[in-house]
């Protein structure tokens, strides 16, 4: 099991801890080398290790490059995978209504690039981790949805930006999806949620920090993690009001999960305990530090 490094004075959440994320990637890479019988060449980047490993495991490879995150509007293979997973419906694709106009595409691509540059200015190590765990943004319209990530296609983020999104809201969406990706990886390596089906049972439903409705425990757990990241982003913006916007709802979610730890694996329990410490003594500076170390 991958270790959680935690000093007496600092609170490190594993999914926002640079060393822990890198360790998870190395464990994944070593597993794939053992399974495939092929060694990764010397000198490959961390992103190459991650995507060559994850694409070996997944049935649909996610395009990636070291230099930047791909932005695509037309990838049929990825689109059909989202369709098969139920993230989008056939009706969404009728008459190509899921495709943004050329002008809209240019605006969206520009805003994504500006949001990533903003994140880089705010926290260069966070930017590097986002670039490592996300290979492709698939931009696709669907009414009433802003996008999402799924554990079946790690490294892929579906985005459906709204026309009124600011650059800050783009940055928020990117940080949001990065946290999902990081938790997916930690769950794959360290088994945070041993049985997803069990998490969807009536007795496992938990109030989501973000949506404020009952959701399967693993999804509510993800939302709790996402809320911490979003509040951290606003802390980086020096926005005290928004850096506390989810704290009360986060406390409620964590309390409900604490009453249902039988649905968690060891890593899920450990991370929950660290979330509790964060709630009791919030320190966004610890998160800033952990993303660097």
pLDDT tens digits, 50-74: 999 999 999 999 999 999 999 999 8
Q: How many residues does the chain have?
A: 293
Token digits of residue 3: 């270790």
Token digits of residue 163: 């026309």
- Check residue 89 and give its pLDDT: 81
158 vs 75, 149, 187, CA distance in Å? 11, 6, 20
pLDDT for the residue 61: 96
Return the half-sphere exposure (C-beta side, CA atoms, 13 A cut-off) of residue 269. 9
Instruction: Between 95 and 258, name the one with better pLDDT.
Output: 258
Q: How far is CA 75 from CA 78, 138, 253, in A?
A: 6, 7, 36
Under the banding of pLDDT at 50, 70 and 90, the label for residue 1 is: very low
- Please determine, for residue 198, whether its predicted confidence score (pLDDT) is greater than 80: yes
> What's the pLDDT score for residue 87?
85
Mean pLDDT score of the chain: 94
pLDDT of 5 strictly over 80:
no
Tell me how many helices (H) and strands (E) the chain has.
11, 6
Dihedral pair phi/psi, residue 65, rounded to 5° = -145, 160
Distance CA 283, CA 11 (A): 8
Question: Helices 167-190 and 18-36 meet at what angle, rounded to 10?
Answer: 50
Neighbours of 230 (CB within 10 A): 22
> What's the pLDDT tens digit per position in 97-146?
788 999 999 999 999 999 999 999 999 999 999 999 999 999 998 876 77
What was the pLDDT predicted at 3? 40
């Amino acid at each position: 099991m991958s270790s959680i490094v935690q000093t007496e004075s600092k609170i490190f959440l594993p999914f926002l801890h640079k060393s822990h994320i890198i360790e998870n990637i190395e464990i994944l890479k070593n597993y794939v080398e053992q399974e495939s019988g092929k060694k990764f060449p010397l000198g490959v980047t961390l992103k190459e290790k991650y995507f060559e490993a994850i694409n070996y495991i997944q049935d649909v490879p996610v395009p990636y490059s070291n230099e930047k995150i791909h932005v695509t509007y037309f990838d049929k293979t990825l689109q059909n995978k989202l369709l098969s997973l139920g993230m989008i419906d056939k009706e969404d694709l009728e008459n190509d209504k899921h495709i943004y106009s050329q002008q809209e595409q240019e605006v969206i691509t520009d805003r994504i690039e500006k949001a990533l540059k903003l994140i880089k200015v705010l926290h260069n190590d966070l930017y590097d981790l986002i670039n490592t765990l996300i290979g492709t943004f698939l931009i696709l319209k669907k009414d009433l949805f802003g996008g999402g990530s799924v554990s079946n296609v790690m490294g892929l983020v579906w985005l459906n930006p709204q026309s009124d999104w600011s650059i800050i809201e783009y940055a928020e969406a990117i940080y949001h999806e990065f946290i999902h990706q990081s938790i997916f990886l930690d769950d794959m390596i360290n088994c945070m949620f041993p049985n997803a089906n069990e998490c969807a049972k009536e007795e496992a439903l938990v109030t989501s920090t973000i949506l404020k409705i009952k959701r399967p425990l693993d999804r509510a757990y993800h939302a709790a993690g996402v809320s911490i990241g979003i509040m951290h982003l606003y802390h980086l913006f020096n926005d005290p009001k928004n850096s506390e916007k989810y704290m009360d709802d986060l406390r409620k979610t964590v309390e409900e999960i604490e009453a249902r730890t039988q649905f968690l694996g060891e890593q899920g329990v450990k991370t929950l305990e660290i979330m509790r410490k964060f709630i009791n003594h919030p320190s966004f500076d610890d998160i800033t530090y952990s993303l660097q170390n």
